[in-house]
Amino acid sequence: MKVGLVGTGLVGGSLGLALRARGAVVVGQDRDPRAAERARELGIVDSIGAVEGADLVVLAVPVRSIPGCARSLGPVAGVVTDVGSTKAAVVRGGEAVFGGRFVGGHPMAGSERSGPDAADARLFEGRRVLLTPTARTEPDALARVAEMWRGVGATIVEMDAERHDRVLAAVSHLPHAVAYALAGALGALGADSFRGLAGGGLTDTTRIAATPAPMWIDVFLENKGALLEALDAFSAELGALRAAVERDDSAAIAAFIEGARAARARILG
């Protein structure tokens, strides 16, 4: 199989390494020529060049770049997919260019690290990949994308693109916004005076706040409606906990904490 990779960062790079380790030929490109060259040095791609002749083209660029990236490609012979963290607008943009040969995809794997040097051939092992086919999607296109992901160790879950975006707003985009706001609040409260005094709680709670901005600007804006709803639900919960603390209401704090623990166990259990 010949795979064309547009974007050689953490996710694209990891996919390139994983596919080449399993015998695929990978041709790649990156708008940043240094990243492309670094991807070649690291063995993420066999060569740098045009991806249009590949059996499968993977668009691994920030979500808001996907429609433009799709339009800028020449005619492609094979199937096209992406790895974006939001899906409704991406699928509309992809289908506008490639019709039923475009399949929206979202590997649930990442890291606070970024760029080709963060690529990891095992990133997708045991992880879920969410695919969002529509009524237009050609069955063999969907099968080819699913086969690629299973080949690198992932499990496929199919869902509607709109549902994907609502679910991800809650389980991923909201936690990222909260983690950034928490790190920002520590900055406002006097970061330098806290140096060396943080425990594992702060380290874990803000780990994802180490992720660079470009990916998350796009995700937040692309999924704005669902994110704002999730943020408002979060602020209502935090407000309820704050009010219980303010009025010294031990029973309400206990009920809040036990409800939160139960919700977490249901989601992660």
**Positions 152 through 181 that interact with a copy of itself (CB under 8 A):** 157, 167-168, 170-172, 174-181
In the complex with a copy of itself, the residue whose CB is nearer, 26 or 169, is 169
Q: Does 186 bind a copy of itself (CB under 8 A)?
A: yes
**Which of 110, 131, 142, 154 lies at the binding interface for a copy of itself (CB under 8 A)?**
110
Residues within window 35-54 making contact with a copy of itself, judged by CB under 8 A: none
Q: How far is the CB of 124 from a copy of itself (least distance, A)?
A: 12
The conformational region for residue 17 under phi > 0 = left, psi -120 to 50 = alpha, else beta, is alpha
d(CA 85, CA 61): 10
Q: Please, where are the H alpha helices in 8-106?
A: 10-21, 33-41, 66-72, 88-98
| Residue 31 contacts residue 5 (beta carbons within 8 Å) | no
In the complex with a copy of itself, the residue whose CB is nearer, 21 or 257, is 257
Question: Following CA atoms 192, 205, 158, 16 in sequence, which dihedral angle do they give, to the nearest 10 degrees?
Answer: 50
In the complex with a copy of itself, the residue whose CB is nearer, 10 or 230, is 230
Q: How far is the CB of 209 from a copy of itself (least distance, A)?
A: 5
Segment contacting a copy of itself by CB under 8 A, of 17-25, 27-35, 140-148, 252-260: 252-260
Q: Residues touching a copy of itself: how many (CB under 8 A)?
A: 90
**Which of 50, 77, 143, 210 lies at the binding interface for a copy of itself (CB under 8 A)?**
210
In the complex with a copy of itself, the residue whose CB is nearer, 135 or 251, is 251
Residues within window 119-138 making contact with a copy of itself, judged by CB under 8 A: 128, 130
In the complex with a copy of itself, the residue whose CB is nearer, 97 or 202, is 202
d(CA 182, CA 205): 8
Q: How far is the CB of 137 from a copy of itself (least distance, A)?
A: 21
Q: Cα–Cα distances in Å, from 186 out to 77, 177, 241?
A: 51, 14, 19
d(CA 24, CA 33): 23
Q: Does 96 bind a copy of itself (CB under 8 A)?
A: no
Q: Does 241 bind a copy of itself (CB under 8 A)?
A: yes
Q: Cα–Cα distances in Å, from 203 out to 91, 182, 196, 238?
A: 36, 11, 11, 20
Q: Please, where are the H alpha helices in 134-223?
A: 139-151, 161-168, 174-190, 200-205, 213-222
Q: Which of 8, 6, 62 is nearest to 38 (CA)?
A: 8
